[in-house]
Structure 1
């Protein structure tokens, strides 16, 4: 299968996932994440704002803020295809941004640079057991990860998103862990 086929397959599988089962899976994934040494030790957390069928991150964000962690979320520049890490103090600091109505910070204030992030929690459509990641095709995370080489990289996914192998390009960045409802896969 090519990248497009994987993307279509996973989007279709996520769209038919029962809401009750999704909530259970999300709860299991959240619980596993919060128990990791990477999460416990991190002070500066970069995390995506979930939409649609993605593993929900809203409760992780709220919990992290309550624990006193500095939480940074993506703000993209669609012209330059760059993504900045912007600190938020609340989910209420976010607004819907067209055309996909993704939640992003209102302003570009409080940007964290380079290797100051301890942990990056990222989405994706498909992952390999070797740590390869297939995103949505914009290249935002690959560019972002190149400037954050010291950060632990944890992907949140459902088990049906994990394959033995997926198609990759030389510029595709890997993850260090994949957390699914069934457990934590640590990439060696």
Structure 2
């Protein structure tokens, strides 16, 4: 999947990403959300560039993940003040305010592949599965991916957390 994602041309990636995040932004879960958790995209993921500012301008509190050891926390941030953190991913600075899981209304979740039913194949470290399984977290989840990442079935373990819906373009 990673190779296939990277083989998308810049224009195709940009168009698909705009459609993906446009559809998320039109969803009832997004409309109802006060606090939205977004990710900083890796080169093989739908591009989140510009999404944070558009959603903040729409009145959403936006939080981004920061990895600390085996834990992932979502933090308030200024998109202009991100730094390279774990795995080379842009993340909030260490002093950024942590957002408690119970305050997040919607988490936008990346993945290597998804099924239409929400089963997700991540990158293998379990950060999102551990985060989404916290009892404090009660928000909605939406997986985002390119159309070819939507597959018929995926293996699933008891600790895997499915997303509520998937937006693929």
- 3-state SS of 1:86 partner: strand
Give the structure 2 partner of residue 97 of structure 1.
85
Aligned residues: 168
Once residues 136 and 108 of structure 1 are traced to their aligned partners in structure 2, the CA distance between those partners, rounded to angstroms, is 27
Once residues 32 and 143 of structure 1 are traced to their aligned partners in structure 2, the CA distance between those partners, rounded to angstroms, is 26
- Under a length normalisation based on structure 2, what TM-score does the superposition of the two structures give? 0.94
CA RMSD in angstroms, aligned pairs only:
1.3
- 3-state SS of 1:58 partner: coil
Correspondence for 1:177 among 149, 156, 165: 165
Residue pairs, 1:6-17, within 5 angstroms: 10-17=1-8
Give the structure 1 partner of residue 32 of structure 2.
41
Q: In the alignment, is the contact (CA less than 8 A) between 2:104 and 2:137 conserved in 1? A: no
Cα separation, partners in 2 of 1:49 and 1:158, compared to 1, 3 Å: same
Give the structure 2 partner of residue 160 of structure 1.
148
Q: Aligned pair 1:141/2:128, yes or no?
A: yes
- 3-state SS of 2:118 partner: coil
Once residues 119 and 59 of structure 2 are traced to their aligned partners in structure 1, the CA distance between those partners, rounded to angstroms, is 31
Structure richer in strand, relative to its length? 1
In the TM superposition, structure 1's runs of 4+ consecutive aligned residues that sit over 3 Å from their partners are none
